[in-house]
Amino acid sequence: MAASGARNYDLVVIGSGPGGYTAAIRASQLGMKAAIVEQAELGGVCLNWGCIPTKALLRSAELFEVMQRAAEYGLSAGQAGYDWKRVIQRSRQVADRMNKGVAFLMKKNGIDVIPRRGKLGEKAGDVIAGDEPLQARNVMIATGGRPRMIPGIAVDGERIITSREALVLSERPDRILIVGAGAIGVEFAYFFASFGTKVTLVEMLPRLLPIEDEEISKELERSFSRKGMAIRTSTKVSSLARDGDLVRAVLAGPKGEETIEADVALIAIGVQGNVEDAGLEAAKVHHEKGFIQVDGQMRTSTPGVVAIGDVVGPPLLAHVASAEGIVAVESLAGRNRGAIDYRKIPGCTYCHPQVASVGLTEAAAREQGHEIKIGRFPMRALGKAVAAGATEGFAKVVLDAKYGEILGVHMIGAEVTEVIAEASLALSGEATASTILSTVHAHPTMAESILEATANALGESINI
């Protein structure tokens, strides 16, 4: 029975990130009366403080680098310069525009937006939005995640910061220490280095982007080193503290201890789910190590409660959250479209050169017992890359040797985050190498690198 005075819905979504708002829209399309409870900005962290504004910053960095190379293209426009405050301002304007777009979509689809903090109530279907009771046939938890902290290191938001503060620094730091070389860490490393900041990038594991194929990681490290970054892999932060107007860190690496001073330290070691104060215990929703446990249809341990996105754990990607939202809603509507195959989820990192991948790395394929063939194609041999003056990187394909099935595609280079969609479609459709080779690719394009790498794996290379 609904709580007295409670508004009634078919679905209440707690959180409005890419997964939450996508799920609410799909629910509306399927005839459900839906509401979103959101305590902050519509669009969540991704749209307001993550994916979108960082890409705006990276675009500014990319263009600034190209401007400094204008002479290579036969162009002259005077000395390249930048307005740091304007760079930051544009990023915020982009985020604001996207936020307004989500608000429009909510109105268009008849979705109620309740601007309060939401949590589960004790009884089935009860949701508390601030102090307002809501009643729903189904509830979706899409509360997202937040930066994971290093125990014993205090983030003050000024000298020791997270990605959120890094997006709005009022001044460019002369020196920055970035702890963590996953996607967030390397994107900010590229951004700051492009504008002249001296970057020290520290990673506890043996290489940058540890989840990527090892060859890709090594190529990125070479590129970053050429840009003047100091790379410290297999290195732990023993201590990090603010000292007046700077920070001082003691690093423990293969060569012993090293003391680093910087103007700012950015902590980028990962994300943890927002499971606190969400009513999970009262509603008996099971969670472990900061993430809610779900099945293939995103159902939690409590009937009528589903969960999606960063709060359910890796892969911590916006497009995964959106896909999970649709799976969950369609399951609630009786349209079971099957569980997501997380082995076929593409990952993208938007530093320069960009990194993109889908499927198994070479090491993972071998560990799983596959007999494999490997193909590579360097961007320096690709007509479009040469014409664009963007010859860093290569494409790599991992094939099953017996059947020619595409097991993984790994890329580093210009615009590979766009090109990876071809590989994702190939894996989704269980395509083979012959499918790629029989597909005529437009010339000249960056996508030809996948065709050429596939041909290389089969000993049929034309252009190398």
| Residues with catalytic roles | 443
Strands 34-37 and 7-14: parallel
CA 161 to chain centre: 19
**In the numeric block, which tokens belong to residue 188?**
């900010």
Segments of 212-317 assigned E as strands: 230-232, 236-243, 246-253, 256-262, 264-267, 271-273, 287-288, 291-292, 305-307
Distance, CA of 87 to CA of 67 (rounded, Å) = 15
Distance, CA of 325 to CA of 321 (rounded, Å) = 6
The torsion angle over the Cα atoms of residues 284, 290, 294 and 299, rounded to 10 degrees, is: 50
Run of H or E residues at 118: strand 118-120
Distance, CA of 397 to CA of 461 (rounded, Å) = 13
Instruction: Compute and round to an integer the Cα radius of gyration of the chain.
Output: 24
Helices 18-29 and 318-332, axial angle in degrees (round to 10): 30
Are 99 and 47 contacting, i.e. CB atoms less than 8 angstroms apart?
A: yes
The residue among 328, 353, 354 whose CA lies nearest residue 339 is 328
Sign of CA dihedral 91, 94, 100, 104: negative
Distance, CA of 331 to CA of 326 (rounded, Å) = 8
* DSSP letter string, 155-224: --SSSEE-HHHHTT-SS--SEEEEE--SHHHHHHHHHHHHTT-EEEEE-SSSSSSTTS-HHHHHHHHHHH
Run of H or E residues at 366: helix 362-367
Phi-psi region of 144 (alpha: psi -120 to 50; beta: other; left: phi over 0): left
Distance, CA of 357 to CA of 408 (rounded, Å) = 7
Are 162 and 150 contacting, i.e. CB atoms less than 8 angstroms apart?
A: no
Distance, CA of 26 to CA of 210 (rounded, Å) = 35
Distance, CA of 54 to CA of 266 (rounded, Å) = 14
**Which SS3 state, helix, strand or coil, does residue 125 take?**
coil
